[in-house]
Structure 1
Amino acid sequence: MTRSILLISSAILTACASSQANLPGIDGNREEIFAVAPDAPAEWANTGVVGTAPTGDWLSQFDDPIMESLVREALANSPTLESRAALVRAAEASIRTARSQRLPSVDGTISTGVTSNAFEIGNDLERSTDGIYGLGLDASWEADLWNRLGRGIAAAEADLAASEADLAAAELSISAQTATAWINLNAALAQERVAVLTYEARDRVRILTERRFQRGLAEALDVRTARSTVAGAEADIAQRRQAAGEAARRLEILLGRYPATEIEATADLPALDPLIVESNPMRLLARRPDVASAEANVVAAGLRAEQARLALRPSLRLTGTFSTSESEFADMVDPERIAARVVASLIQPLFTGGRLDAQRDTAIAQAESAIANYANAALTAWGEVEDAIAADTYIAQQEDALLRALEEARLAEELAERQYTSGTITIFNLIDAQTRRLTSESQLVAARASRASNRVSYHLALGGGLPVQTAATPTQAPQDNAAE
């Protein structure tokens, strides 16, 4: 990718070289212009892995047919994808527009009118009124002397490649958002289930405390405390149900449904295998559709910069006019009465008030911006993969630690309940033991959801592996000969 970017930079270099005064520090040296483009390392920093990028269906690792069906539904119904697909069609039409500029343009006219003239005959003033009928044909054509129009065609083709890449990126994003939203909905329902278990545990303590109070084994403070924890658990259930409803509506919107909170989920989170890191940073740039879009934008901007520079050169235009203007309708279509004129003009801009220079400098600055955006896209892509790789390791460690913490908290809660029943500890000790168990359970749900979401983010960062055929077509680089 970096090598291909350097190879297509000649158009930008030529444009920049023609305006050195306006671009400090750029003298047409390729390495200087692309100094902002980072060099890709040979392997991922977090694992030292090299290899081939995964090409399979990454959704299959979750072993969740519902998730896969929801992703299909989202891809079929997303308004965002419809918008992106329309932009692709617009880019295709723009190519036709650019190509048409190399062809002659022909306009036909038909006219009719009346002329009235006054003249003297002797001492009398007479007036003559006659009809006028005319046919006209105007043709013009500009020779592409410097391949300026060819640059415009190639730039339009690069715009199409960028639009197709944007569509592919949107499809991948919608897939990832849908999978993540499904994970979040299940996590929210799992947290709601934990909240219900919390309420049940708190209520058991309340019942036990009230019985002990009736037998004179507990104080009123213990009863009030137990009832307070029950009320707090009720409030937490309401909060968790609100969060679950919001998660369901977010998912329904992604699916193109009305957000009625009608979608059902099992509250189960996937148990994932360890992450097997594949590919390498350099191959990543060939997979990410957003990087492909940024590269296509560099191509288009460079070609337009060169096109703006060539606008300062002379242009050759041929114009032709064929027309008749007769007073009789029948004479209007008489071939012998046709007047014709053909003119070839060589036009050199002399003074435009600085407009062409400003347009050239604008195009060069936009090309430089596109290069910087490409560098930023590459760095962002690498950073996202490195983050996801590191996060999977740390979240897996959290999950393992939380599993052990939950097991110990359960045993501690059981022991605390027995000791409270026998009167050897206070209600505060029991509540504290319950809280540790319930907190560990809630944290474990959050860690599993976070790991599943991070796994989706990892494959999103790698840029590929959709489970269905989509509207996006493979992004192709502009043909070199289009600009020749």
Structure 2
Amino acid sequence: MSTLAITCIVLSACSSHYQMPTALKQQTLNSDTTPESWSIGAQKSKNLISEGTFQELNDDQIRQLVNRALSNNLQLQQQNDSLKIKEQAVIASGSNLWPSLEAGLTTGRSKSVNPSSISNKFDADITLRYELDLWQKLAASDKKANLEYLAEQALFEEAKQALIANVVLAWFDVIEANKLLSLYSQRIENAKQNLSIIESGYQQGLNGALDVYLARNELHSEESRLALQQTTQSTAIRALERLIGEYPAALLEVNANIPTFKSSLDIGIPSELIKKKPSLKASWYQLMAKDAGLAFAHKQRFPSFVLSASTGDSAARFSELFSASGLAWNLVGNLTAPLFEGGRIKANERSAEFQLQQAEKKYLDDIYSAFENVENTLSAQRSLVVRYESTKQAMENAVAAEKLAFEQYQSGLVTYTTVLDAQSRAFDAQSSLIQIKKQRAANRIQLQLQLGTAFIETNNNTSTGDTNND
């Protein structure tokens, strides 16, 4: 009667089976939720940025910095270690599908009272165990480990591409800091010349004391800006040094211009982003790993069937072990099924189900976040083009106005406050042009990263980029 009851419970457990939710059978979003094109719109071109990024930067130093970062960056090395850990987990999980072979050796020494004697005993055995994966329970566990490894692999690729982009962006920051520092130094020299001219005019009775004080104040203000910019420059250099895995001593020298990318960028369509962006691939693999984890948790209800075969021997002397006459062996088939676990199996399955739902929502959220980032960067790209051209014209006008204002001041046509106002406008326009040019170049690199277009490092010294000075 008890055997019949156990059989009924086992068959009942096996009759229920897990089915993947319909939503998870679709790797990409459907046409109703994925737009056919980016809302901002852009022209396509065969000149992909991935084929010429480093050539267009037109500097061998950035190639060297990127290679040093890929070799020495500590965060990327940590990500690589995580990948190796997942790889070992795959090996460990896959080993459950193979038979296990164990050997044991036991020694003992005992004393008997009547008759009084001391005896030795040696036991040795070899056991072979193999679990038949009738319900694909072990296969589900192995699938989960493999999917987690693929997710970690995609995250490592994303981290590598992000590191390359961050090195380039940090390099841009240093160039910007250098350009602004040079501008501030030039402004100090101009302020000194103006002060010298005004003091000379004051001594000749051509200028008032107020003009002298205003000119001195302008010089001190420029010196303050220079000191602050020197700190900004050091900070930018240290950030770049940390990315390439070196001590942040602010000793790295960068002598380059901010690039102007000339090639067009093929931004593709939103659905392509899901397939090629590493972080979205990782999110999808994580989702499928949770699905496999739910399948494994559900199949814990099913019975396990283990075959074991062992052979062994006992002897009073070690040399007599495994003698042909003393060998013993047995073959056992073991069928076990959970009957009462206090709700543990059900709770684990429900937990795995909630984790799957959480991963599904995260995957959808990651997709829309990726779409949002691309749309925002495309909008910024269009805005930066307009701002750059407008600021460039404004700078040319402001510099001409500054020169004209000082000439008119020397002729007595305007006051020195007019000169200071013109100088301030010229300074703002010049610094803004440098900053916008850097933002425009940085936006291009960020767009490439967000589109999932791989950066290609190259040792080719042939460059086709912009060589004009700022």
User: Among 231, 235, 244, which residue is 2:224 paired with?
Assistant: 235
Matches within 5 A, 1:15-414: 30-31=22-23, 39-47=33-41, 54=48, 55-119=50-114, 126-266=115-255, 268-273=257-262, 275-414=264-403
1:463 aligned onto 2:433 = no
Between the aligned partners of 1:369 and 1:353, the Cα distance in structure 2 is 26
Conserved? CA contact 2:47–2:263, under 8 Å: no
Between the aligned partners of 2:46 and 2:261, the Cα distance in structure 1 is 22
Distance 1:79 1:273, change over 3 A: same
Structure 1 counterpart SS, 2:94: helix
Amino acid at match of 1:268: N
Distance 1:409 1:384, change over 3 A: same
1:450 aligned onto 2:450 = no
1:427 aligned onto 2:419 = no
Structure 1 counterpart SS, 2:267: coil
Distance 1:35 1:80, change over 3 A: closer
Instruction: Give 2:425's aligned residue.
Output: 436
Conserved? CA contact 1:185–1:267, under 8 Å: no
Distance 1:238 1:456, change over 3 A: same
**Where does structure 2 lack aligned partners over 5 or more consecutive residues?**
1-15, 459-470
Conserved? CA contact 2:59–2:256, under 8 Å: no
Distance 1:68 1:301, change over 3 A: same
How far apart are residue 377 of structure 1 and its match? Answer: 1.8
Structure 1 counterpart SS, 2:35: coil
How far apart are residue 53 of structure 1 and its match? Answer: 10
Between the aligned partners of 1:79 and 1:328, the Cα distance in structure 2 is 57
Between the aligned partners of 2:24 and 2:154, the Cα distance in structure 1 is 28
Between the aligned partners of 1:428 and 1:265, the Cα distance in structure 2 is 38
Conserved? CA contact 1:91–1:163, under 8 Å: yes
How far apart are residue 335 of structure 1 and its match? Answer: 2.7
Between the aligned partners of 1:378 and 1:93, the Cα distance in structure 2 is 30
How far apart are residue 100 of structure 1 and its match? Answer: 0.8
Conserved? CA contact 1:37–1:371, under 8 Å: no
Question: TM-score by structure 2 length?
Answer: 0.87
Distance 1:53 1:340, change over 3 A: farther
Instruction: Give 1:9's aligned residue.
Output: none
Between the aligned partners of 2:138 and 2:82, the Cα distance in structure 1 is 23
Between the aligned partners of 2:64 and 2:328, the Cα distance in structure 1 is 70
Distance 1:212 1:50, change over 3 A: closer
Structure 1 counterpart SS, 2:37: coil
Distance 1:58 1:348, change over 3 A: same
Between the aligned partners of 1:329 and 1:278, the Cα distance in structure 2 is 75
How far apart are residue 107 of structure 1 and its match? Answer: 1.6
Query: How big is each residue's C-alpha offset from its partner over 1:6-60, in whole Å with a ceiling of 9 and x where there is no partner?
Result: xxxxxxxxxxx979xxxxxxx9752499899673211111016578894524333
Amino acid at match of 2:35: P
Between the aligned partners of 2:377 and 2:212, the Cα distance in structure 1 is 48
Distance 1:420 1:330, change over 3 A: closer
Structure 2 counterpart SS, 1:297: helix
Query: How big is each residue's C-alpha offset from its partner over 1:226-246, in whole Å with a ceiling of 9 and x where there is no partner?
Result: 111101100111111111111
Distance 1:61 1:330, change over 3 A: closer
How far apart are residue 82 of structure 1 and its match? Answer: 2.3
Conserved? CA contact 1:44–1:50, under 8 Å: no
How far apart are residue 320 of structure 1 and its match? Answer: 3.0
Conserved? CA contact 1:53–1:283, under 8 Å: no
How far apart are residue 312 of structure 1 and its match? Answer: 0.9
Instruction: Give 1:123's aligned residue.
Output: none
Between the aligned partners of 1:216 and 1:204, the Cα distance in structure 2 is 18
Conserved? CA contact 1:51–1:280, under 8 Å: no
**Where does structure 1 lack aligned partners over 5 or more consecutive residues?**
1-16, 20-26, 120-125, 470-484
Instruction: Give 1:8's aligned residue.
Output: none
Between the aligned partners of 1:35 and 1:287, the Cα distance in structure 2 is 13
How far apart are residue 216 of structure 1 and its match? Answer: 1.9
Amino acid at match of 1:47: G
Conserved? CA contact 2:398–2:422, under 8 Å: yes
Between the aligned partners of 2:88 and 2:221, the Cα distance in structure 1 is 62
- How many residues are treated as equivalent by the alignment? 441
Structure 2 counterpart SS, 1:336: coil
Amino acid at match of 2:41: T
Question: TM-score by structure 1 length?
Answer: 0.85
Amino acid at match of 1:98: S
Conserved? CA contact 1:139–1:321, under 8 Å: yes
Between the aligned partners of 2:382 and 2:56, the Cα distance in structure 1 is 17
Conserved? CA contact 1:163–1:293, under 8 Å: yes
Structure 2 counterpart SS, 1:262: coil
Identity percentage of aligned residues? 24
Amino acid at match of 2:360: I
Between the aligned partners of 2:248 and 2:93, the Cα distance in structure 1 is 43
Between the aligned partners of 2:385 and 2:215, the Cα distance in structure 1 is 36
Structure 2 counterpart SS, 1:109: strand
Query: How big is each residue's C-alpha offset from its partner over 1:210-236, in whole Å with a ceiling of 9 and x where there is no partner?
Result: 122112222222211211110110011
Between the aligned partners of 1:334 and 1:371, the Cα distance in structure 2 is 61
Amino acid at match of 1:59: F
